[in-house]
Structures are given as structure tokens and as C-alpha cells.
Chains A and B, each alone.
Chain A
């Protein structure tokens, strides 16, 4: 028995975490960084990289607030979420000397409203969220959000919706022409009623499944991010990404330095690493979005230059960034989301 317990203790010690020095702990979106790039970073800097994934900004925030803060070094929130996390004091800051490659950021992405001067975050990728439609099932017009919220009979019951509060509510608001962060209860009630009526047409809620359901044909239309839609098309789905006339969500995901990061030094090295044009291009080639690093062009895939998902038509409206609403307004939006999901 003693021998058994001793060997048990030994095995536990072996399996336990190594010294924190050579590690980097990433909290990232699903399917958003190629394993080869993580391996490259691990080899260059001699660190062990571990990564957990999440499937929405809100889920990431909830997990961090429920005790995960202090376990991860970096996370990848979207624009508005950077602001929320900054306001909540969940981010650490760095100086330009600590991340020399900050100079590689394209000028228009440095003084961003959610992090002026880039003291907590670096740009990761930017893109849009709208929807894609299977052209074998539906040949008609797709330039309207009605495809998702009031679909034609061919698509009704075969629609997947992102399991992401900010994107569903913002697209819904655009469809109804409601300004963001409004406190007008009648308008919010209208949004709530519209979404509840639309839910009858939806087959499933899923973000990480959004590509697979389109490729497998389980869904004939689906709310989706532009790069993810391109990946689905490249995997053989006959789908078209839409640029709805009511507008769509534009976003920028950013790598942030988390407060109480167990491996701050490695986190900064990783952020610097991601700002190398070659590495930024590797992410873009994998995820099919757009990089905000200058000098990536020589490393990019040919297919990206002409892809309809990355290059909107001339008549498409500009994308709308999600706004971080004040807490009391956000509570109203949460109520609508709970009501929709319950």
C-alpha cells in the first residue's frame, strides 16, 4: 500500500505543472491560431504553450470573473470587450519598449477608442460578422438581414445563429434600425419581440459549430464571421457571404495582457512575436480574416486577395462596431438575451 501511494505521489508530481518560468498560458477563441505557429513560438523561446478556448466574448469574461483571472497570460477579446475589461481593471499595461514590434501596427489601428495608444492590447485580426447562405437551397437576394430574422420558407428552420449575445443583438438592432445602447424600453421591447419571433425559424445556436453546420449541410444559412465563412466555402460548401444593406458587425480582436498574468514576460514576447509580419500573416492565412500589421502582404495567400469575404462590394455599407454600454443599459440587453435563450 505504501508503495502504491508513493508511486501515486510521484506520478502526480511528474504530471503537475512545471516551473512557471518556461510557460505561456493562452485563453483564445476556438480555431483561431495555427498549431504550427504556437509550436514555432515555443521552439524560439523555449517555453511550453498551453491554450484553452472560448466561443464568445461574454463567455470569456464570465470565466475570467469567476476565478480564472490569474491563470492566463493573454486573452483575445474584441474591441468593445477590451474596453469592458479595461474598465473592470482586468488588464495589465505595458510600455512600448516592452513590445518593440508595436511600430509594425498599421497607423489607423494604434489610437483606437477602446485602447488609445495601445497600452494594454495589440491588434490580432479584424473582420466582420454577417451571415452566409447555401446557394443550392436559396438562389434569391441575400443582401438583407431578413434572411436571418424573417427568412423565406426555404430557409426557415434551417438557420444556425451564433451563440454570442453582442452579435445577435447588434445585428437585430441594425435590422430594426435601433441605435445601440438605447434605453428606450419600447424599442428594446420591439427588439425582444422580433428576436423571439425569429427564433421559431432557427435550428440551432452555435458559434464553434457555425462552419461545420454549413459544410455538412445541417444548416442552409447561418450567422457567421467572414473568415470562418471563407473557410467553410474552401471546405466545399456552396455558400455565399452576405453584405446586408442594413449593415453588419465590424470587429477587431486584440491580444490583451491580463492582470496577474503568471508569465508576464512570455506574454509580452508572444505579443511581440505576433506583430512580426510573417507571423501575423500566418494567422491571417489560417483564420482568413485581415491583419492590422504592416508588411504582411508578401506572406499572404493569393486566395485572400480576391476573396469576396474579405473584399466587400463597392455598394456595401460600412460595418458597425459593437458599443460597450453602461452597466445599467447592459443589464437590459442581458435581460433580452436571457429571454431569448430561455
Chain B
């Protein structure tokens, strides 16, 4: 599958030594588009988080810390009490972190064995399996979430099947629960977990496992002591790919969780699409979310660098 030998061109100079490299003009469009339409907007978003909210929608161009104040400080229902630490939004973040973390863990528990199983198939069926895992990822996330909503409602097929099997008398309420949100996140991002681990296991040298077995290690000991450390980059990448989108998800909480308890994504969405129209607060929550993701990525990059050295 992969080309033999070192990747050509990767570290060499230009094809013809006399050529002046075209690097700059070739990169310019990418720099310009992403710079102007993503980096600048993100910068502007940071600015907006320090503006004053207009009454019921819109912003006033005056510096204000009100958005962050509202996030971190509780000044009572009518804003005239001495400030205390506001737990509400920290709780929203905590719940999102917790939900995203749990979804990542479930994805890992299901995804790792699946990836392992696929990677140990013969080469031909291996690609077919990987293909099968990829297909649902390309199906509209909205449609997948909606189909799940249809599946787990009180009168939906899952409950009908459970009743028909005699496992329960009355429908079990699954929609509008944390379980539904969990299921939605798990289902949405499972392929993100399987594919990087699969790629890592495929490159894994099974002779290492054999050596461990020869030295008397049981299969599970070999898995823990030899396999997992070797495929760790794949596991970390998979966890990151599940965790980051889960953290900002808003379709699952909105369509499966009943829009009753906020997660970060729905909290942000409501500031722009909902009835309150508090843009500075929505921007501030986005800034906090983005900072958390960047810290996670930085942590990942440092981890990678350390592993690269080792």
C-alpha cells in the first residue's frame, strides 16, 4: 500500500537547483483566504467579547467586561448583590467536558477493539472494512442525529422492539435525557476514533507482541505493556478528534437532549439565534471554548514532540 523507501521530495530542495522557488506566490492564496476569513474573524470575535450588549440584540461599540463578568460572577437575580463566583456557566463547561470526556471514553472502548480487528484482517478485506467505517461519517451529521431521535423516541422502533421482546412493559424514556446526548455524541464521532487507531495498528510490528508472548506475557499483559504504548499516537489523535467536536456540539443537545440543559455549543448558539441576542456573551463563551481547545492541542503537540525525541 505505502510506497517503499523514504518519502521522496519530502526533505529535498527544488527539482531544478537553478529555479527560484515559487513558494511565496503559491502559498499566498491559502494564507490570504484563511488569514482574512478565519484568523481575522477570530480576532474580531475576541474584540466583540469586550463590547457592550445592546438591549435585546446588537452591540454597542464601548469597552465592557460585562460578558466575562456574567460568565464568572454571580451578582444575584437583579445584579445588585455583592458578587460571588458564578457556578452556572462553569457547570455548563464542566457538564460539556464531562459529556465529551465520557463520549470519548465510550468511543475508545468500542473503537479500539474495532480498529484492532480491522487492522488484523487480510489486506483486501481490511480496506473494505475501513471503507464501511468511513461511510457513515460522510452522511450529514444532522441526518444522523435526526435518525437517532426517531429511533429512540417513546413510540420509536427501539422501544417497540423492547416491548415486543418482552424486556419492558412501558416505553423507556430515552429522548431528552443525558443518555440520548451521550448516544448522539458517541454515534456522531465514533469513526473519528476508529480510523486513526486503525492507521496506527496497521503500522504496528506484531513481532513485538510475539516477543512478549515468547517471554511469557499473556495476551492482555502484552496489550497493556507493548501494544498500547506503541499505538499511543493513534489513540491520542482519535481521542482528540472525538473530544474537540463533542465539546462544541449543539445538534445532539438540541435535538436529543431537549434543549433543556445547556452544553457549550447550545449556550453559544442561543446567544446568536435565540431570544436573548447577547453577542458579546456568546463571543466570550466562544473565546473561552477556543482557549480550552488550543490548550489541549498544545498539550498534544508537546506530547508528540516528546515522543518524536524518544
Task: Check A62/B88 contact, CB under 8 A, given A185-B78, A216-B154, A335-B78.
Answer: no
Asked if A342 lies at the interface with its beta carbon under 8 angstroms from chain B, I say yes
Helix, strand, loop or mixed for chain B's interface? loop
Provide the A41-84 mask, 1 if CB < 8 A to any CB of B, else 0: 00000000000000010110111111100000000000000000
CA distance A163 to B269 in the complex (A): 14
Task: Specify the chain B residue showing the minimal Cβ separation from A215.
Answer: B155
Q: Is there contact, CB below 8 Å, between B57 and A62?
A: yes
Q: Is there contact, CB below 8 Å, between B275 and A189?
A: no
Instruction: Please give, as numbers and ranges, the residues of chain A lying within 8 Å of B57 by CB-CB distance.
Output: 61-66
Task: Check A203/B258 contact, CB under 8 A, given A65-B277, A332-B78.
Answer: yes
Task: Specify the chain B residue showing the minimal Cβ separation from A220.
Answer: B154
Instruction: Please give, as numbers and ranges, the residues of chain A lying within 8 Å of B274 by CB-CB distance.
Output: 59, 62, 163
Write the nearest CB–CB distance from B90 to chain A, whole angstroms: 11
Q: Is there contact, CB below 8 Å, between B275 and A62?
A: yes
CA distance A206 to B274 in the complex (A): 11
Q: Is there contact, CB below 8 Å, between A336 and B275?
A: no
**Cβ-neighbour of B54 out of A58, A65, A338 (below 8 A):** A65
Write the nearest CB–CB distance from B38 to chain A, whole angstroms: 20
Instruction: Please give, as numbers and ranges, the residues of chain A lying within 8 Å of B56 by CB-CB distance.
Output: 58, 61-62, 65, 330, 334
Write the nearest CB–CB distance from B144 to chain A, whole angstroms: 19
**Cβ-neighbour of A337 out of B54, B89, B272, B276 (below 8 A):** B276
Asked if B270 lies at the interface with its beta carbon under 8 angstroms from chain A, I say yes
Task: Check A163/B154 contact, CB under 8 A, given A62-B274, A338-B276.
Answer: no
Instruction: Please give, as numbers and ranges, the residues of chain B lying within 8 Å of A204 by CB-CB distance.
Output: 176, 258-260
Instruction: Please give, as numbers and ranges, the residues of chain B lying within 8 Å of A65 by CB-CB distance.
Output: 54, 56-58, 277
Asked if A7 lies at the interface with its beta carbon under 8 angstroms from chain B, I say no
CA distance A64 to B175 in the complex (A): 33
Task: Specify the chain B residue showing the minimal Cβ separation from A57.
Answer: B275
Asked if A327 lies at the interface with its beta carbon under 8 angstroms from chain B, I say yes
Asked if A339 lies at the interface with its beta carbon under 8 angstroms from chain B, I say yes
Interface residues on A, range: 35 or more
Q: Is there contact, CB below 8 Å, between A217 and B275?
A: no
Instruction: Please give, as numbers and ranges, the residues of chain B lying within 8 Å of A158 by CB-CB distance.
Output: 173
**Size of chain B's interface in residues, with CB distance under 8 A?**
29
Asked if B262 lies at the interface with its beta carbon under 8 angstroms from chain A, I say yes
Q: Is there contact, CB below 8 Å, between A218 and B175?
A: yes
Asked if A192 lies at the interface with its beta carbon under 8 angstroms from chain B, I say yes
Task: Check A58/B258 contact, CB under 8 A, given A66-B58, A192-B77.
Answer: no
Instruction: Please give, as numbers and ranges, the residues of chain B lying within 8 Å of A206 by CB-CB distance.
Output: 258-259
CB within 8 Å of B: which of A103-133? none
Asked if B302 lies at the interface with its beta carbon under 8 angstroms from chain A, I say no
Write the nearest CB–CB distance from B26 to chain A, whole angstroms: 13
Asked if B273 lies at the interface with its beta carbon under 8 angstroms from chain A, I say yes
CA distance A189 to B274 in the complex (A): 24
Instruction: Please give, as numbers and ranges, the residues of chain B lying within 8 Å of A163 by CB-CB distance.
Output: 259, 274-275
Asked if B79 lies at the interface with its beta carbon under 8 angstroms from chain A, I say yes
Closest 5 CB pairs of A and B: A62-B277, A65-B57, A204-B258, A58-B275, A62-B57
A residues engaging B (CB < 8 A)? 56, 58-59, 61-67, 157-158, 163-165, 185, 188-189, 192, 199, 202-206, 216-218, 327, 330-332, 334-339, 341-342
Task: Beyond the given A61-B57, A61-B277, A192-B77, please list 4 additional residue pairs across the A-B interface where CB-CB is below 8 A.
Answer: A65-B58, A65-B277, A217-B155, A339-B77
Give 24 pairs: A residue, B residue, CB < 8 Å, sorted on A: A59-B273, A59-B274, A62-B57, A63-B57, A65-B54, A189-B77, A192-B77, A199-B260, A203-B176, A204-B259, A204-B260, A205-B258, A205-B260, A216-B154, A217-B153, A217-B154, A217-B155, A218-B176, A331-B55, A332-B78, A335-B77, A335-B79, A338-B276, A342-B88
